[in-house]
Structure 1
């Protein structure tokens, strides 16, 4: 028989579910609350579902037990059990323990009745031969299996809607950002589950109408497979997501450290004493900070501000006015204009310091044009704009070129 999506997607789902199960199982050593236990159980059920649903395993499972297509009942029953576990997890998050257990018992009782009805209907259904890849589509025309499928889909749809309702309720008020993101992705998985439901209900309608149910089998398979992936990603995201944030922060600081280098290097050349440590002998190494990036970035910002302070007597009002006018003429917004003006004044001050020159009219440039200097992240963003303008802006080059500094007075 030709390979289908099941042969590719379901092994991937089984692998991911198994990894998620082991991940949560290990984490239970540190955190064994009821919600975490329910989630671990849910991942365990999901691992079994997609493992058995893989066609080659399905066939081996049926041969081992001697009952054709028993894998269908087992996997679909475990889907209901998985959904019950995920409901329990959400209920433990949303309600006090006593109330959560009361709601869980009510739902578990109903789902147990559903499983009993499904088992009875399955045993009453004559087999159409082993169908590891298209069992539902093949058996949808059999009346008892149609009823079985309606019961299964009704339970599945109601539980998925219940999960979707709870995620919509809890996600906006969840404290941790990665928990909010994870719950929204989990809710997206429930929506894909509803797509699976729609395809399966269409199997029943199509059987009555005489349609070929295999036409929408891929929609059912994708709905189940992608929905499961969303569930696994969303519910593990609060655990691994913060690590991604830390990696992103490291790269962001590293990039800012590099972007500040042109301004820092120029200021250090004019005022060497600002450096806490001597720069590396190989100049380009000064652009990178592999270790202690946060500290080194903070130190670079402080050294730039120290250099700025040391050069203030060389700030030239003519440079400032020229840069401000040119930037305004080009339609720069307030932040761009501020960065360009500061970069031009600093570039002029560095040149004046190297030539030992003082301006005819000193500039009264505000030390921090954008707000609270104690907000380091804000100060980094501001100085990065200044450094980029310092290195690349034609406005800065034009303003410095228009400068006409006078020699500093010499002592008699």
Structure 2
């Protein structure tokens, strides 16, 4: 994620919102890295007492950077800078207090006692941890509120979904500070809860981070998923229209201006396949127009009456009537029997746009397969 978002930062280096987003990812990623046992011990040998302090400064900094991202995304100019500065002062005050508590806590051995969960003998370390998780809780609540508020006015569907995931993830993660403060307070007051503090603090953090990370990826990858899905829907429609199209083009080959779509050879982009679906619809209607002198109004009316007797819907009735009209017209053309002008079947309705047109012709193609089999 750090590398992925850094490319966006390079493209927009003057955008403070991008700096905030990348800074939050970098602070969170490097802060978690310090928590890895091997890294933690190596840093502690080089600079005793530094890993815990630096890790929490980075994690708090990640929270402030995330506030900066949302602030500059929602507001503009002086108002955004003023709010980001206000949150920055809260961050600095929190880090100053954490540092002021950490130095004597480390020298007294409170930090070591806290890491052993001996909270009774680590009052300064417990207070320091309370300040830390309280700050994180404030950040998570403000981020959840801003993300959800922004989602309400976002004009892109995947952006709305991503922001809501971030809001939900932040709200779930906010359970961690509540649990941690409650747990340490209970132990300090002599009431040891019967569960592991780390395990039950880990769950909301893991779930919240997973949701928030997914939410940050969704706005970019969601539209790509839509493109893949739309390509598949176009391809499915293209295949479903094939029987009706093949029968009409066989009777009137002059309507076909180019070869059918060949997967893997004629492009894989959505626009490529949309073009071929569009061409197929045009060729179907061109052939249908050429078939009209062979169609029968009587056959169409009989098909409508039979469809009504079966209790079909209006959309299904028109599709069945068109399918029977085409099937009987192709048989009449093959036998050389044309119709009088007053006996031609009237033009059938289609859709008002390509999607509606394709959906209607798909129903016609299904009914045509049954009518042709009779």
Q: TM-score range by the shorter chain?
A: 0.7 to 0.9
TM-score normalised by L of structure 1: 0.79
Query: Which whole-Å CA distance do the structure 1 matches of 2:60 and 2:368 have between them?
Result: 63
* Structure having greater relative contact order (Cα 8 Å, sep ≥ 6): 1
**1:320 is aligned to 2:327:** no
**1:261 is aligned to 2:242:** yes
**1:61 is aligned to 2:15:** no
TM-superposed deviation, 1:190: 0.7
Q: Equivalent residues in 2 for 1:212-231 (5 A)?
A: 212=193, 214-215=195-196, 217-231=198-212
The 1:22–1:355 alpha-carbon spacing in structure 2 relative to 1, beyond 3 Å, is: same
Residues 154-178 of structure 1 show CA distances to partners (whole Å, capped at 9, x for unaligned) of: 2222221111111122112112322
Conservation of the 8 A alpha-carbon contact between 2:238 and 2:277: yes
Counterpart in the other structure of 1:38: 20
Conservation of the 8 A alpha-carbon contact between 2:300 and 2:345: no
CA-atom RMSD, angstroms?
2.9
**1:98 is aligned to 2:78:** yes
Conservation of the 8 A alpha-carbon contact between 1:262 and 1:387: yes
Q: Equivalent residues in 2 for 1:66-105 (5 A)?
A: 66-67=48-49, 70-105=50-85
TM-score normalised by L of structure 2: 0.86
TM-superposed deviation, 1:293: 1.6
The 1:279–1:209 alpha-carbon spacing in structure 2 relative to 1, beyond 3 Å, is: same
Query: Which whole-Å CA distance do the structure 1 matches of 2:356 and 2:182 have between them?
Result: 55
Query: Which whole-Å CA distance do the structure 1 matches of 2:297 and 2:217 have between them?
Result: 57
Conservation of the 8 A alpha-carbon contact between 2:300 and 2:325: yes
Query: Which whole-Å CA distance do the structure 1 matches of 2:316 and 2:36 have between them?
Result: 58
The 1:128–1:105 alpha-carbon spacing in structure 2 relative to 1, beyond 3 Å, is: closer
TM-superposed deviation, 1:213: 6.4
Residues 133-184 of structure 1 show CA distances to partners (whole Å, capped at 9, x for unaligned) of: xx76725443223322322232222221111111122112112322222211
Choose the corresponding residue for 1:390, options 364, 368, 371.
Answer: 368
Q: Secondary structure of the equivalent of 2:11?
A: coil
Conservation of the 8 A alpha-carbon contact between 2:350 and 2:357: no
Q: Is there any run of 5+ residues in structure 1 with no aligned partner, and where? A: 1-19, 402-412
Choose the corresponding residue for 2:5, options 24, 35, 44.
Answer: 24
Q: How many residues are paired up? A: 365
- 4+ aligned runs moved over 6 Å, structure 1: 128-131
**1:179 is aligned to 2:163:** no
TM-superposed deviation, 1:87: 0.8
Counterpart in the other structure of 2:321: 341
TM-superposed deviation, 1:36: 0.9
Q: Secondary structure of the equivalent of 1:28?
A: helix
Q: Equivalent residues in 2 for 1:140-289 (5 A)?
A: 140-141=119-120, 142-207=122-187, 208=189, 210-212=191-193, 214-215=195-196, 217-278=198-259
**1:47 is aligned to 2:46:** no
**1:377 is aligned to 2:358:** no
TM-superposed deviation, 1:330: 4.1
The 1:366–1:196 alpha-carbon spacing in structure 2 relative to 1, beyond 3 Å, is: farther
Residues 361-402 of structure 1 show CA distances to partners (whole Å, capped at 9, x for unaligned) of: 8464443244x2xx22222222223223333x5xx46xx84x
Q: Secondary structure of the equivalent of 2:150?
A: helix
